[in-house]
Amino acid sequence: MNRKRFDSTSLRGGPAIRAVDPWTVGNPRSGEAHQLLTDDERARLAVFASLVRFKKGQMIYRGGDPVDAVYNVVSGVVKAFNGRDHISAFLFAGDLVGLSEEGHYVNSARAVTPLTAYRLPIARLQHLLRHDAQLEFHVICKLCQELRQTQRHAFLVSTRDAAARIAMFLQLLEQLQANRQEPVNEIHVPMNRSDIAQYVGLSPAAVSRTFAKLVGDGIIEERDRHHIKVKDRARFDRLSAHVSGASS
C-alpha cells in the first residue's frame, strides 16, 4: 500500500510546487496539478533550502512569531490553524506553508503526520524572487491556487448541512489526492476527527454522527477511520451540490 513513502522526484530535485495553472486552458489531463518549477528553478532553490523533519503533532511555527522561513511540504500533512478552534487549511506535498503579515506568521502550523519539508529562509527566498521573474510567476500560480482553495473552504463552512460539509471535505481530499497522481479508488483521510471538525466547523460529535449517517445510508464505506470509499457516487455528489436552496 505504501510502496513509496516519498515522491522521489521531489526529494532529488529540490523544492517542488504543484498547482493547477490559473490561465493555461485545456492541458493534457484537465484539472490535474502539475509541477510548476523547472529543474533549474528547483536547483536554485535547493542551494539554500534545507530538508527538515517533524514528528507527528510537532509544532512548525506559532502565529505571531517573526517569520524566518517558508516551508515546502515534501511528504506528510500540515494543519494551519488560528490559536483557538479553527483550522484554516491542510497542506500537502507541493504546498507552501508560512503565510505572514508584516513580518509575522498569521497562523500556527503543526504536523498532522510525520512530515518532511524544505525549509526556505525568507531573506534568501525574497532575494531570489526579486530577481527571477519566471520563478515568481510560478509562485503567483501557486498563490492563486491556494486562494481558490481557501475560497472553497469558506464556502464549505458557510453551509448549514453537516452531511454537505463532510461530503465537500471528502471531495476536496479526493481531488488533492488525484492531483498528486495517487490512486483514488479510496479516499485517504490522514487527519483525526477533531481536526476534521475544526476544519469543517462542526463539533467532533457532529462529525462522528455524520460519518455514521453517510455509512448507514450506503453513500460511503469506512475501511478504517482513515480510509473511505464512495459507494454511491451520484448521491455523494448530490450532497455537495444540493447546498441550501434550489439547484439552478
Partner DNA sequence: CAGGAAACTTGATCTGGATCAAGGATCGTC
Partner DNA sequence: GACGATCCTTGATCCAGATCAAGTTTCCTG
Distance CA 38, CA 11 (A): 14
Answer with the entry of DNA, a copy of itself, none that 204 interacts with (C-beta below 5 to 8 A by kind): DNA
C-beta of residue 125 within 8 angstroms of C-beta of residue 97: no
179/210 with CB nearer DNA: 210
Distance CA 186, CA 2 (A): 13
Distance CA 115, CA 53 (A): 6
Contacts for 96 with CB less than 8 Å, ≥ 6 apart: 17, 70, 71, 72, 73, 139, 142, 146
28/245 with CB nearer DNA: 245
Q: Which of 9, 66, 192, 194 binds a copy of itself (CB under 8 A)?
A: 66
37/214 with CB nearer DNA: 214
C-beta of residue 7 within 8 angstroms of C-beta of residue 74: yes
12/140 with CB nearer a copy of itself: 140
Dihedral angle of Cα 106, 108, 112, 118, to the nearest 10 degrees: 70
Distance CA 26, CA 216 (A): 39
Task: Using CB under 7 A, list all residues that contact DNA.
Answer: 56, 160-163, 192-194, 201-209, 211-212, 224-225, 244-245
Q: Which of 39, 40, 65, 136 binds a copy of itself (CB under 8 A)?
A: 136
Answer with the entry of a copy of itself, DNA, none that 205 interacts with (C-beta below 5 to 8 A by kind): DNA
Q: Which residues bind a copy of itself (CB under 8 A)?
A: 20-27, 30-31, 66-67, 82-86, 88-89, 99-104, 106-107, 122, 126, 129-134, 136-137, 139-140, 143-148, 150-151, 153-155, 157-158, 201, 243-245, 248
